[in-house]
Amino acid sequence: MTGRNARRVRRGFWTALLTLLGLVAVACAKNAPQDTLAPVGPVAEQADNLFRPVFWIATVIFVLVEGMLVYAVWRFRRRSDADAPKQIHGNTRLEIFWTILPAVLLAGIGVPTVVTIFDVAERPVGNVVNVKVTGHQWWWEYEYMDVKLPDGSGNLKTANELVIPTGRWVNLDVTSADVIHSFWVPKLAGKQDAIPGTTNFIKMQAPAPGVYEGQCAEYCALSHANMLLRVIAHPPAEFDAWVNRQVRPAVRPSQGVVDRFVNTCFACHTLRGIESGGGATIGPDLTHFASRGRFAGSVLELTAENLAAWLDNPDALKPLADHPRGPTMPDYGLTREEIDAMVAYLMSLE
């Protein structure tokens, strides 16, 4: 090997090694909120229990096959122009072996896979929470089908943060209002596509209180990466108290704020209990907006500063301009005084 070739080999080796180390480094995380390998809910655990043995079986097969291939390439390589490979015309025992073994392995993997698929697809019955999930560009809407509003106007609706009780199954009927999205909370369940005109099903259960991060897993235009979500699990008593608070009408604002809402927000948003503030479904229901920890598709922490910046120039914080109907959160050119008044009111909607 010439000096130039040797340098190329060494350079290639170090490049490959550094690339591998970089991939390993970025895969390490002390606290990964969307780590599929650290399941919490029973559905996610079922998927994990299926994945791990299949992964190790595939790893063993890969190592054996690739090892035998490398050995054969090295051991039986051509050493001179006069070499000719030894001709082998079949080995019945070997052919039977490598036909039966893969069939057994596939059966061992296929049977538990099919059983798990049917089990995960089966709806739980009894004391369950039924929620309709609707994907929008770019936020999530949750309609609690078993929670009726006191005024008879429909069911309880919230956005971006799905609140559930611990220890109870949650049935999620998933659909979309515009394009294809994908509902995904890795620690609690798998992915489920949200398709316009179609309703798909997924179930989940949180065994312990906590916040479980998720996101849209299907590219849905410019702000796809900013279409996040959170599942917040409370003990049953706290969940019931949360429901009782959520069904109440919104706090009534001053007349000046109402006028500004009528001219801007009420075209897309709902404030239950406020005149001219009901029925709009383009944007999230704002009735108890301040009870959520995040907003704008669960991208921004709910603080007065973030909310003021959002009302001042929403597209600067979350690109929204490529929606088919135009910007989903337009810049209305609010004055500083109007922004401050609206922020103060929105932060009171607990």
Q: For 298-311, how does the pLDDT look when each residue is reduced to its tens digit (9 = 90+)?
A: 889 999 999 998 88
Co-location of 147 and 193 in the same domain? yes
Asked if residue 9 belongs to a domain, the reply is: no
Sequence-distant (≥ 6) Cβ neighbours of residue 324 within 8 angstroms:
178
Asked if residue 62 belongs to a domain, the reply is: yes
Co-location of 187 and 281 in the same domain? no
Task: Give pLDDT tens digits for 154-206.
Answer: 899 999 999 999 999 999 999 998 899 999 999 999 899 999 999 999 999 99
Share of the chain above pLDDT 90, in %: 36
Co-location of 190 and 266 in the same domain? no
Asked if residue 12 belongs to a domain, the reply is: no
Co-location of 190 and 282 in the same domain? no
Co-location of 150 and 296 in the same domain? no
Return the structure tokens found at 212: 């479980």
Lowest pLDDT segment from 6-20, 159-173, 178-192, 214-228: 6-20
Co-location of 212 and 268 in the same domain? no
Q: What are phi and psi of 66, to 5 degrees?
A: -65, -35
Asked if residue 277 belongs to a domain, the reply is: yes
Give the Å distances, CA to CA, from 292 to 130, 160, 232.
Answer: 20, 9, 10
Asked if residue 60 belongs to a domain, the reply is: yes
Domain harbouring 288, CATH code: 2.60.40.420
Range of the domain at 288: 255-346
Domain end, chosen from 203, 233, 263, is at 233
**pTM of the prediction?**
0.82
Residue 187 per-residue DSSP state? T
Asked if residue 52 belongs to a domain, the reply is: yes
Co-location of 162 and 281 in the same domain? no
Banded model confidence at residue 263, pLDDT cuts 50, 70, 90: low
Task: Give pLDDT tens digits for 44-91.
Answer: 999 999 999 999 988 998 999 899 899 988 887 777 777 776 777 777
Pairing relationship of beta strands 170-176 and 139-148 according to DSSP bridges: unpaired
What pLDDT is attached to residue 231? 95
Domain end, chosen from 233, 263, 290, is at 233
Asked if residue 325 belongs to a domain, the reply is: yes
Co-location of 179 and 273 in the same domain? no
Co-location of 206 and 152 in the same domain? yes
Mean local confidence (pLDDT), 123-151: 92
Co-location of 274 and 224 in the same domain? no
Co-location of 53 and 166 in the same domain? yes
Sequence-distant (≥ 6) Cβ neighbours of residue 226 within 8 angstroms:
138, 296, 297, 299, 318, 319
Asked if residue 93 belongs to a domain, the reply is: no
Co-location of 295 and 339 in the same domain? yes
Contacts 24+ apart (CB under 8 A), 208-213: 208/40, 208/166, 208/233, 209/166, 209/233, 209/234, 209/235, 209/238, 210/40, 212/33, 212/40, 212/185, 212/187, 212/188, 213/33, 213/34, 213/185, 213/186, 213/187
Quote the number of domains for the chain.
2
